[in-house]
């Protein structure tokens, strides 16, 4: 499967699921594994028997590039880091961050008024990246990137591309000093510079309210009393900066695209916003009164899950869907495929937010829809991201109706995250 996965991973996985059903055998170089698409098997791997699995060796590329942070670490070390970070994501804590999110959205709206007057297409992906980065920085890491703000998006795009391209390469050519590799190292230096800047600023001025960064700096090991090394803090901050910015920005970018293509959902959303907000700024307490908005967000991440696929490796022999899974084999969970299987979704390729209404969702297994993963390794930022997306869309959709540049090709590109291959230029 290696050439097919290199060429077009989402379609390679999709074809396998359609041709072979619940459990499809994959041979990828020297590795073996199954693509699993039955919700009970997904539940088994991610949740019920999660102890028997670790993140697959494919994450090694991410680990080697960014360091071993919450997203990639394992075992007791992972659990300790997760416990340190968890309080920053408690529901009540996020409630207090809603104002920061709404402020950042309002600043984007003000900026867009100027852009709209210029009548040029705007790259919406970049706009969303800047917005979600501002939110993560102000609400979790309490600062700005100073001189690095202008270069960090391009740096991450380079890193994303390079890791994705080397993902299936089996490491044979990894040590070669190619020009691409040099670009990658330069990009990583920008990222490290930005993160070191944040940490140094915080050490100079303590923050008034405790946020994620202060929790990371203050954390002490229960047994040894030791604090995290500077290097580990850097790795965790990098993880949060990227995990928090990139995925949310992509979900929003796909959402603007889908709304621009579907008039009826666009109108229904506008009516809901008008009825609840009447033009005012959204607040946390409005969330419960915007059910259709939530359906639009869920449906967007069904069709375009920003984290389009992940994988695990079995620590001991297991069985999946009646087949033996020997220890060391991989299990692929691919939200992009699960979310589009005709067996579980009517008119699977259609954008239809109503399918997420409570009545129509009642009988659906929670494990055919996993944009945030599931089980102990589920996304720590899922509520944070959902609240942020509601507040951003509520602010911007009240004032702007985005239109894709006519004839612009739109196609997903499965890097580490699911990006629009040719960008998303839109008129505001
Ligand atoms: C729409 C937005 C988001 C999506 C679709 C998303 C998706 C995911 C997924 C699928 C995983 C699990 C990966 C696996 O099991 O291998 C994950 C983990 C994680 N996410 Fe998110 N995420 C989003 C937003 C965020 C935000 C806003 C933050 C932080 C501010 C964040 C931080 C993390 C971290 C730290 C992990 C690792 C958790 C652990 O293993 O303990 N994510 N995310």
Cα–Cα distance, 371 to 302 (Å, whole number): 7
H runs (alpha helix) in 36-90: 39-43, 60-66, 75-85
Q: What is the DSSP letter of 70?
A: T
Task: Point out the ligand 1 atom lying closest to the alpha carbon of residue 386.
Answer: 1
- Residue 243 CA to ligand 1 center (angstroms) comes to 6
Instruction: Calculate how far, in angstroms, residue 111's C-alpha sits from the geometric centre of ligand 1.
Output: 29
How close is the Cα of 245 to the center of ligand 1, in Å? 10
Q: Report the candidate in 388, 334, 363 with the shortest Cα–Cα distance to residue 137.
A: 388
- Give, using CA atoms, the residue closest to atom 42 of ligand 1: 381
Per-residue confidence (pLDDT) for residue 79, from 0 to 100: 92
In sequence order, which ranges of 262-320 are alpha helices (DSSP H)?
263-277, 291-303
Query: Residue 422 carries which DSSP code?
Result: T
Q: Tell me which residue has its CA closest to atom 41 in ligand 1.
A: 377
The pLDDT, as a whole number, for residue 414 is 93
Q: Give the separation between CA 253 and CA 269, rounded to whole angstroms.
A: 17
Task: Quote the ligand 1 centre to 311 CA distance (angstroms).
Answer: 14
Cα 97 to averaged position of ligand 1 atoms, centre (Å): 18
3-state secondary structure of 177: coil
Closest-lying ligand 1 atom to the alpha carbon of residue 132: 27
* 209 CB burial (10 A radius; 0-12, 13-18, 19+): exposed
| Per-run averaged pLDDT (10 residues), the chain, 428 residues | 88 96 93 96 98 90 85 92 90 91 97 92 95 93 82 85 71 67 90 90 81 87 82 92 93 98 98 97 97 98 97 97 96 98 96 97 95 97 97 97 97 93 96
Ligand 1 center from residue 267 Cα (angstroms): 31
CB atoms under 10 Å from CB of 329, counted, come to: 20
Ligand 1 nearest atom to the CA of residue 72, by list position: 40
Contact yes or no for 316/327 (Cβ under 8 A): yes
Q: Which two tokens stand for residue 401?
A: 């109706």
d(CA 342, CA 225): 53
pTM over 0.85: yes
Q: If you measure from the C-alpha of residue 176 to the centroid of ligand 1, how many angstroms do you get, rounded to a whole number? A: 32
Distance of CA 193 to the CA centre of its chain: 23
pLDDT for the residue numbered 406: 96
User: Would residue 51 be called left, alpha or beta, if left means φ above 0 and alpha means ψ between -120 and 50 degrees?
Assistant: alpha
108-130 burial, b for 16+ CB within 10 Å, e for fewer? Answer: bbeebeebeeeeebbebbbbbbb
Strand-strand pairing, 31-36 and 53-55: unpaired
pLDDT of 175 reads: 62
| Whole-number pLDDT of residue 229 | 87
Q: Which of 336, 379, 384, 389 to mutate to test the pocket of ligand 1 (most atoms within 8 A of CB)?
A: 379
Measured CA angle at 59 (ends 311, 87), to 5 deg: 90
Ligand 1 shell residues, CB under 6 Å: 55, 70-71, 82, 136, 140, 239-240, 243-244, 247-248, 251, 306-307, 310, 371-373, 377, 379-381, 384-385
**Separation CA 313–CA 40 (nearest Å):** 18
């Amino acid at each position: 499967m290696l050439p097919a996965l290199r060429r077009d991973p989402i379609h390679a996985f999709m074809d396998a699921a359609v041709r072979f059903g619940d459990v499809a055998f994959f041979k990828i170089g020297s590795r073996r594994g199954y693509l699993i698409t039955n919700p009970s098997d997904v539940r088994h791997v991610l949740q019920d028997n999660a102890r028997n699995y670790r993140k697959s060796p494919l994450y090694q590329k991410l680990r080697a590039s960014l360091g071993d942070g919450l997203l990639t670490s394992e075992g007791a070390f992972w659990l300790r880091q997760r416990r340190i970070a968890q309080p920053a994501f408690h529901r009540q804590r996020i409630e207090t961050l809603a104002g920061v999110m709404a402020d950042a959205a309002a600043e984007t709206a003000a900026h867009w008024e100027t852009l709209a007057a210029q009548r040029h297409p705007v790259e919406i992906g970049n706009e969303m990246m800047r917005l979600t980065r501002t939110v993560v920085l102000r609400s979790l890491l309490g600062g700005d990137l100073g001189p690095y703000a202008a270069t960090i998006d391009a740096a991450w795009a380079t890193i994303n591309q390079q890791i994705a391209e080397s993902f299936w390469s089996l490491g044979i050519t990894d040590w070669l000093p190619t020009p691409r590799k040099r670009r990658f190292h330069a990009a990583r230096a920008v990222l490290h510079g930005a993160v070191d800047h944040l940490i140094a600023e915080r050490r100079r001025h303590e923050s008034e309210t405790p946020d994620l960064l202060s929790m990371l700096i203050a954390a002490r090991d229960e047994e040894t009393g030791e604090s995290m090394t500077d290097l580990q803090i850097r790795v965790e901050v990098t993880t949060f900066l990227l995990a928090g910015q990139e995925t949310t920005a992509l979900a929003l970018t796909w959402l603007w695209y889908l709304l621009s293509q579907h008039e009826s959902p666009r109108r229904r959303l506008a009516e809901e916003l008008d009825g609840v907000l009447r033009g005012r700024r959204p607040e946390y307490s409005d969330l419960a009164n915007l059910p259709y908005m939530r359906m639009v967000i869920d449906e967007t991440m069904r069709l375009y899950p920003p984290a389009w696929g992940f994988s695990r490796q079995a620590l001991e022999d297991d069985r999946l869907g009646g087949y033996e899974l020997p220890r060391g084999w991989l299990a692929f969970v691919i939200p992009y495929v699960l979310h589009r299987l005709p067996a579980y979704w009517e008119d699977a390729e259609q954008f239809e937010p109503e399918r997420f209404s409570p009545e129509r969702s009642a009988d659906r297994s929670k494990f055919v829809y996993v944009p945030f993963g599931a089980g102990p390794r589920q996304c720590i930022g899922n509520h944070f991201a959902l609240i942020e997306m509601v507040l951003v869309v509520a602010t911007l959709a009240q004032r702007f109706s985005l239109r894709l540049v006519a004839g612009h090709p739109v196609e997903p590109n499965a890097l580490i995250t699911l990006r629009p291959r040719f960008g998303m230029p839109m008129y505001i």
